[in-house]
């Protein structure tokens, strides 16, 4: 395998000159530069990437940590991040923690050893923020609110407004016995969505009814069974997210419930599966692609020394499909 010293010898220059030509770190005489570039082209020389990373203290690498790679929400987000990073000349390393705090900590440490330029973090473990505060690597938190000033920025959607929007739609669709699948209260998204639901209940004088639910398919199954036991007359379910809504539909149909005739259902996220299922799922849409792209854009801008906004809140919108009815007009 040809080395940088071989290139230097063939071009009649020093190894340092070859390095300067390749890295663009200093001006090089045009004649020497052309000789080096010609030898590189003729020999097909490829630099040792690990050595370049150590020398430049930058791998042009971004780490993305997600809690569960099985959830399409995180896959769609990672796809958007990768697309933006690629356009800016950065590679991506994806780490899945499986909701394991220790695994998330290990991933942050590993990315640091890899000389990653920054991390985009999606997490269901708010305890990890203490680790972020001590990290010597810039971190952008996605889908969670910033809690430490050491974080570069947070990218979130307006979860509170989404909670209000979902409840208002269920009332407009004629539901009067609505149960909320309350998302994890240790997460800002779960707290804000539930607060939006609560505020509409208070404003409209509607009874508060809820069960707790994690953001995953399996817990959606469990939570729906609980709703059917504890609230047998429920005519509307506001799911914690789309994955929970999809599992809710499965349980409802298993128990002979028709959606939306007997019970209406709404999710949150607008993942691709929400429009692939039959009936198509009504949901509160987060702009997943835009949020992922923005996270990568902000992190790379920060890495490159630019000023970036710390708090970034995206609007949500109602996507009505087939699991809820149209607005009911009062007689």
**CATH number for the segment(s) 159-286:** 3.40.50.2300
Beta partners for residue 178, in sequence order: 236
Q: How many CB atoms lie within 10 A of CB 279?
A: 14
Ordered by start, the domain boundaries in the chain are: 4-47, 61-157+288-315, 159-286
Give Cα separations from 222 to 184, 215, 239, 271, 291 (angstroms).
15, 12, 12, 21, 30
Kindly give the confidence (pLDDT) of every residue in the chain, 331 residues in length, as a single tens digit, with 9 standing for 90 and above.
778 888 888 989 988 888 778 766 567 888 888 898 898 888 888 766 545 554 455 568 999 999 888 889 999 999 999 999 999 889 999 998 888 888 888 888 888 878 889 999 988 776 676 666 666 788 899 988 766 555 788 999 999 999 999 999 999 999 999 999 999 998 899 999 999 999 999 999 999 999 999 999 999 999 999 999 999 999 999 999 999 999 999 999 999 999 999 999 999 999 999 999 999 999 999 999 999 999 999 999 999 889 999 889 999 999 999 999 988 765 4
* Superfamily for the 61-157+288-315 domain: Response regulator (3.40.50.2300)
159-286 and 4-47 share a CATH fold:
no
d(CA 220, CA 249): 9
d(CA 174, CA 160): 22
Beta partners for residue 95, in sequence order: 65
CATH level 3 topology of 4-47: 434 Repressor (Amino-terminal Domain) (1.10.260)
Q: What SS3 class is residue 286?
A: coil
């Amino acid at each position: 395998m040809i080395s940088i010293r071989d290139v230097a010898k063939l071009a009649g220059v020093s190894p340092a000159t070859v390095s300067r030509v390749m890295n663009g770190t200093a001006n090089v005489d045009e004649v020497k530069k052309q000789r080096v570039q010609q030898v590189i082209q003729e020999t097909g020389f490829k630099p040792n990437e690990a050595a370049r990373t150590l020398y430049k203290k930058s791998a042009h690498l971004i780490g993305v940590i997600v809690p569960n790679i099985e959830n399409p929400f995180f896959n769609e987000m990672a796809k958007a991040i990768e697309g933006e990073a690629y356009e800016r000349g950065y590679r991506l390393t994806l780490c899945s923690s499986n909701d394991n705090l220790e695994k998330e900590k290990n991933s942050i440490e590993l990315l640091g050893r890899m000389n990653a330029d920054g991390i985009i973090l999606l997490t269901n473990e708010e305890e990890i923020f203490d680790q972020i505060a001590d990290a010597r690597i810039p971190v952008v938190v996605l889908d969670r609110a910033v809690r430490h000033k050491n974080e570069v920025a947070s990218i979130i959607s307006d979860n509170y407004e989404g909670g209000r929007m979902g409840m208002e739609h269920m009332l407009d669709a004629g539901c009067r016995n609505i149960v909320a699948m309350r998302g994890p209260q240790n997460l800002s998204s779960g707290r804000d969505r539930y607060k939006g639901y609560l505020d509409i209940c208070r404003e409209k004088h509607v009874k508060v009814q809820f069960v707790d639910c994690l953001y995953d398919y399996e817990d959606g199954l469990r939570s729906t069974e609980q709703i059917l036991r504890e609230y047998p007359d429920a005519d509307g379910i506001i799911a914690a997210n789309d994955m929970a809504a999809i599992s809710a539909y499965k349980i409802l149909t298993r128990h002979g419930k028709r959606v939306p005739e007997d019970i209406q259902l709404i999710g949150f996220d607008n993942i691709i599966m929400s429009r692939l299922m039959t009936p198509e799922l009504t949901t509160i849409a987060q702009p997943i692609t835009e949020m992922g792209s923005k996270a990568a854009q902000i992190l790379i801008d920060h890495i490159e020394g630019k000023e970036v906004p710390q708090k970034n809140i995206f609007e949500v919108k109602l996507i009505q499909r087939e699991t809820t009815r149209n607005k009911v007009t009062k007689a």
